[in-house]
Amino acid sequence: MADSILIVEDDQDIAELIKVNMQDLGLEVTHCDNGEDAIQQALENDYSLLMLDLNLPGCSGLDVCRKVREAKQEQAILMLTARTSELDRVLGLELGADDYMAKPFSVRELQARVHALLRRVHLLQNNQAQDPVVDSSVICHGQLMINQRTHEVVLREQSLDLTSTEFDLLSFMAQHPGQVFSRTQLLDKVWGYQHSGYEHTVNSHINRLRNKLVAGQPDSNNKVFPHIIQTVFGVGYKFSPEGVA
């Protein structure tokens, strides 16, 4: 069964260009040109990927991203933004978008990004479909448990709601405790590509993941827990087992 994609773009020329190239990849394509319809379509149907322009009439792409993410934690979302709108890109990533591309963009790069996101969607689906008796892909560090089959994360007996990208990022780093990864390395290992200028993608997801990990640490007697994801200044980030000891 072919993967399906919802394109939300009010510029008809750009929408048609994207549609043709997505169909060339064998994807089933649905298009809408406003935020209200996009929210309805995304919530009522199951799409492998939501491709979302942020500059929409009426309900903005940021609103669409927020509302869809609240209802569907694992929905893959790729934002399309104007090259100059850095603030919108950061806000979109903070609201839960998995990745972004700046206009004008290369069609080949767009296809590569879509391939990378769909590979992760398929991996998640395969993990969830595996027989739990056969599969034992559970990562444990202290009071942190990551179940790669059920996509479940429990920290100090509290279940955390993570997006698919946040889950992949935490899982990857937890498999390499203490190892420092640069932003470029994380783009390659987690997002599946290397491209300069997209470090905001890593920064925003690290910040949002940290906030959720902190929320999962009960403040017992004002105890301060060390960061689970730590910054190594001038180098990158690392997973610290001490944070979940």
Query: CB under 8 Å, gap of 24 or more: what pairs does 124-133 form?
Result: 124/74, 124/151, 124/164, 127/151
Compute the mean pLDDT over every residue in the chain, rounded to the nearest whole number. 84
If residue 112 lies in a helix (H) or strand (E), which one and from where to where? helix 107-129
Q: Which residue has the higher pLDDT, 75 or 83?
A: 75
3-state SS assignment for residue 145: strand
pLDDT number for residue 82? 77
The confidence band for 64, taking pLDDT boundaries of 50, 70 and 90, is very high
pLDDT of 20 > 70? The answer is yes
The confidence band for 134, taking pLDDT boundaries of 50, 70 and 90, is very low
User: Inter-axis angle of helices 86-95 and 199-215, to 10 degrees?
Assistant: 40
Least confident of 47-51, 72-76, 86-90, 103-107: 86-90
pLDDT number for residue 133? 44
The confidence band for 138, taking pLDDT boundaries of 50, 70 and 90, is confident
- pLDDT tens figures, 210-241: 988 886 665 555 555 668 999 999 899 999 98
- pLDDT tens figures, 77-94: 999 887 666 777 777 788
The confidence band for 74, taking pLDDT boundaries of 50, 70 and 90, is confident
How many whole angstroms from its chain centre is CA 165? 3
Nearest alpha carbon to residue 12 among 42, 37, 34: 34
Query: Cα–Cα–Cα angle for 209, 94, 82, nearest 5°?
Result: 145
